[in-house]
């Protein structure tokens, strides 16, 4: 397959790049973090985005955009510009061709009030980031023939961008005991997408284990023996302008794939 990977310089994009480039011809893009062999692209350069997407790829994997929740909350117009508008440009560029789009979306399209979420559950985002992902999904789903893959918090080591481990880089790591997730291990994502990408509509890909953020961070710290002290906190201890859904557990009614459990993932992470 010939694949365009938007956001290959990012944390998730880097993990996808390392797995997908083993078996496919992958063209990756970066915006500010140049990498050898990748092409520079600003999502706001619409003619360039459209020209790249129309270059005869079998699949465009869209893993680029404004991801930090606080940054999206602080600048909703920029979040829309980077997370929603490019999807319209991509759809216009590939319409009528054989190129399919795979949009990476997020569990933040849900409000976190239910024990678990499947593809059929109603979305109700509580923050700007979640609203932009919901709007991007709507565009793709209205067109038909493309795929939205919702993923939860991703953990692990990226080949170049390491936004997850960076959270554990200070002397103290504050982690919430009142946020529950089913995180996915980064190396499992590429193979999972490759098994799902022939589908259309929406699919969920969640991790097997359900843990609090505090438990996840504590177990990663111990597995890697990182020089940080993970301290428990609750919402009141960490005031933020950005609301976070309290419990996000993605499950699927469309397939049986789940990411590895924490024991298996952390044993792999510890091998470097
Ligand atoms: N990380 C998670 O836990 C998680 C969870 C659920 C869903 N997701 C989804 O996964 C995708 C990737 O997330 P991530 O964690 O890998 O984020 P990330 O590390 O911040 O990477 C973002 C990517 O987007 C690129 N980008 C940013 N602004 C751009 C612009 N103006 N033009 C072109 N490219 C731009 C970045 O390029 P440069 O780095 O070169 O600037 C980078 O390649 C997103 O769609 C996100 O919603 C992530």
Domains located in the chain, CATH noted? 2-270 (3.40.50.720)
Given ligand 1 and candidates 48, 67, 148, which is best to mutate, with the most ligand atoms within 8 Å of its CB?
A: 67
Give yes or no for residue 30 CB within 6 A of ligand 1: yes
DSSP 94: H
Nearest alpha-carbon partner for 136 in 72, 184, 91: 91
Question: Given this model, what pLDDT does residue 239 score?
Answer: 83
Q: How do residues 204-237 score in pLDDT, each as one tens digit?
A: 999 999 999 999 999 999 999 999 999 999 999 9
Ligand 1 contact, 13 CB (< 6 A): yes
Place of tokens 């009614």: 253
Is residue 241 scored above 90 in pLDDT? no
Catalytic residue list: 129
CA of 11 to the centre of ligand 1 (A): 7
Pairing of strands 211-212, 201-204: unpaired
Q: What is the pLDDT of residue 29?
A: 98
Neighbours of 145 (CB within 10 A): 11
Q: For residue 225, is it left (φ>0), alpha (ψ between -120 and 50) or beta?
A: left
pLDDT tens readout for residues 22-70: 999 999 999 999 999 999 999 999 999 999 999 999 999 999 999 999 9
């Amino acid at each position: 397959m010939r694949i365009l990977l938007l956001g290959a310089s990012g944390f998730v994009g880097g993990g996808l790049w390392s797995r997908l480039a083993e078996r496919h011809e992958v063209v990756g893009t970066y915006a500010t973090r140049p990498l050898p062999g990748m092409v520079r692209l600003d999502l706001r350069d619409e003619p360039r985005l459209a020209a790249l997407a129309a270059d005869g790829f079998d699949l465009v994997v869209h893993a680029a955009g404004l991801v930090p929740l606080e940054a999206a909350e602080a600048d909703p117009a920029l979040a829309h510009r980077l997370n929603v508008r490019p999807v319209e440009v991509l759809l216009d560029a590939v319409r009528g061709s054989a190129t399919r789009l795979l949009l990476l979306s997020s569990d933040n399209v849900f409000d976190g009030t239910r024990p678990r979420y499947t593809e059929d559950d109603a979305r109700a985002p509580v923050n700007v980031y979640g609203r932009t992902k919901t709007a991007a999904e709507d565009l793709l789903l209205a067109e038909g023939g493309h795929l939205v893959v919702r993923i939860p918090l991703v953990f692990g080591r990226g080949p170049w961008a390491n936004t997850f481990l960076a959270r554990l880089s200070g002397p103290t790591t504050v982690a919430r005991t009142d946020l529950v997730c089913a995180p996915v291990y980064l190396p499992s994502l590429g193979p999972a997408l490759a098994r799902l990408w022939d589908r259309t509509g929406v699919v969920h890909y969640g991790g097997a284990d359900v843990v609090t953020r505090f438990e996840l961070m504590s177990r990663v710290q111990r597995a890697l023996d990182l020089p940080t002290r993970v301290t428990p906190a609750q919402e009141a201890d960490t005031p933020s302008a950005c609301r976070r859904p309290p419990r996000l557990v993605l499950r699927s009614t469309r397939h049986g794939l789940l990411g590895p459990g924490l024991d298996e993932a952390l044993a792999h992470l510890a091998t470097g």
